[in-house]
Amino acid sequence: MKILHAYPHDDALLTRYVGELSSATEGMVDIKTATCAKDVSELCREWQPNIVHVHGAMTCQLPKHIRKVVTPHGADVSVKAYVIIARSPMEKQRLQKAGHQRIEIVRNPIITRTTTIQAMARQMMDIYQRVNDSNVRELMDEPTLSMLAILMKTGITGDKRWITQPLPSQEEVNWRQLCIYAQLEGTAPILQRGVAALGISPPLIDASSIKTYLPDNYLSMSPLQTDEIAVMVNTINNELSENCLPLCRITQIHQALMRPTLDEEKLLSLLDKDKTLLLSRLLWVASQETLLDEGFMPLPPINDRKTKQIHLLLKKHLQI
């Protein structure tokens, strides 16, 4: 993990704080520092840090994909951040009253004897890891995304012979991200079945105990208690109106479409025009996310502007 500390060059106390924190976390993360907005921009472009930790009243513009942690050190906070770090419960209350969310308390050992530099470093590392474990879909590279789709299909079908795509190298896949994502999207059992069916032995991780930051409206996801596709489509339609689409909805539709007892004519008779269009769009999303084959589609898939919006909602389901 790469952490860039940004702080004003003329603040001696912050210079000492960042120095102590950097020394205490050396070897656990890669660290660089910047004391002006220009250096921050250059390092973000050239070094590509995972997190920029902004200290005090430092003003800098960051690329959207880089996650920001802010420790105000008593200053006012006027920027959005993944998490804000207060030095005390009193400062946390002040930040909450100002409308900020996701506030953690990490005491400053330079100004209080109630903590140590080592304790500060451990707390900060936990926060960095939690930030890096949040909305992991956004961080997945191509091998990890490819493995995700393959595992979803293999877990649904229970047979690796359905897979025609080349299998990514296990060493290139970020298994921690995969396990966290499957846990939060309600597809962990499918992921585990997919691994077993493929006959691979990756470093699977118990993601149920991993802490992440989640959207305010996030609800724990699980498959619907039905195998009726028309009911699933109606539920998805309602969830889409609230800008929500978890991956488990797509996997469940894929599973239902593979039932040998499925009556496609009856299914289509239960859907009005709008729901039929929605199903066609969901079929295209399933072709991308779970590699659903056209032979199991009761309708031609549609990939239009509305489909892209639906797919984007799925991708951003865990976005802060």
Reported as half-sphere exposure (CB side, CA atoms, 13 A), residue 299 has a value of 22
Residues 6 or more apart whose CB falls under 8 angstroms from that of 254 comprise: 152, 153, 156, 286, 290, 292, 296
- Cα-trace Rg, the chain: 23
Per-residue model confidence as pLDDT tens digits over 73-127: 999 888 889 999 999 999 999 999 999 989 999 999 999 999 999 999 999 999 9
Mean of pLDDT over the chain: 95
CA 171 to chain centre: 21
243 pLDDT more than 90: yes
229 pLDDT more than 90: yes
Q: Which helix (H) or strand (E) holds 153?
A: helix 142-157
Of the candidate ranges 18-27, 212-221, 235-244, the one whose mean pLDDT is the lowest: 212-221
Mean pLDDT of 15-31: 96
Mean pLDDT of 183-195: 97
Per-residue confidence (pLDDT) for residue 137, from 0 to 100 = 97
Mean pLDDT of 241-269: 95
User: Which of 193, 213, 233 is the last residue before a domain boundary?
Assistant: 213
Same domain, residue pair 223 and 257: yes
Per-residue confidence (pLDDT) for residue 80, from 0 to 100 = 86
217 pLDDT more than 90: no
Per-residue confidence (pLDDT) for residue 236, from 0 to 100 = 97
- Phi and psi (nearest 5°) for 68? -110, 130
Same domain, residue pair 187 and 99: no
Same domain, residue pair 55 and 126: yes
Is the pTM higher than 0.85?
A: yes
CA atoms of 285 and 302, how far apart (whole Å)? 9
Reported as half-sphere exposure (CB side, CA atoms, 13 A), residue 20 has a value of 18
Same domain, residue pair 198 and 281: no
Q: How many domains does the chain have?
A: 3
- Phi and psi (nearest 5°) for 5? -90, 125
- Looking up tokens 């209080």, which residue turns up? 112
For residue 181, the enclosing domain spans: 135-213
Question: 79 near 33, Cβ under 8 Å?
Answer: no
pLDDT band at 136 (very low <50, low <70, confident <90, very high): very high
CA atoms of 237 and 279, how far apart (whole Å)? 10
Same domain, residue pair 64 and 44: yes
CA atoms of 295 and 286, how far apart (whole Å)? 13
CA atoms of 71 and 85, how far apart (whole Å)? 5
Same domain, residue pair 100 and 193: no
Mean pLDDT of 61-84: 91
Q: Which helix (H) or strand (E) holds 135?
A: none
User: Which of 85, 102, 132 is the last residue before a domain boundary?
Assistant: 132
Reported as half-sphere exposure (CB side, CA atoms, 13 A), residue 110 has a value of 13
Nearest residue to 318 (alpha-carbon basis) of 191, 123, 194, 187 = 187
Per-residue confidence (pLDDT) for residue 57, from 0 to 100 = 87
Per-residue confidence (pLDDT) for residue 222, from 0 to 100 = 87
Per-residue confidence (pLDDT) for residue 218, from 0 to 100 = 87
